[in-house]
Amino acid sequence: MEQNGKQEIIQAVQSVSVSFTLVMAVYSVFTLMKGDGEWAEAAFPLQLMAFLAICCLWERGAARFLPLRPAGWLAVCVAGEYAAFLGAARLFHWFGFRLANVVAFSLLFGILQLAARLFFYERGRAEAARLNRALRAREKEGRISR
């Protein structure tokens, strides 16, 4: 698949993700305002979005202040996010804390972490390759020198 096709797919995935997130947020707010249905079910998407936002901000902050190599930094971030996930799940009653549930949701957490990290790793790698190609092309044209 050519580069433009990949970019279009990435943009489509991002658009769908943002749209879905906004729809869930609006749905949750309206459900909470109407008072119909179960409070916990309506609040869950908002709680999860807040949790993910806090994790993202924590990662950005941890990257600045923790003097670790990338693998160590990643391990600290994922461990912190996992502990926060279990704490939030317990606090907001996202699932019952039976062994089967904890194992299932831990596996889900790990799979989602892996998928997200691989997605952004590949995006960064593709962007670096694109920039390198552009620099080589400018170098051949004589517009930049080493």
Domain boundaries, the chain: 3-141
| pLDDT per residue as tens, the chain (146 positions) | 456 777 777 777 778 777 877 777 787 787 777 776 676 677 777 787 787 777 777 666 665 665 656 666 667 777 778 888 888 888 888 778 888 888 888 888 888 888 877 887 888 888 899 899 999 988 888 766 55
Token output for 25: 């947020």
Which tokens belong to 126? 């593709």
Is pTM beyond 0.75 here? no
Return the amino acid letter for 121: Y
Q: Which of 41, 46, 40, 39 has its CA nearest to residue 23?
A: 46
Q: Is the dihedral of CA 112, 118, 124, 127 positive or negative?
A: negative
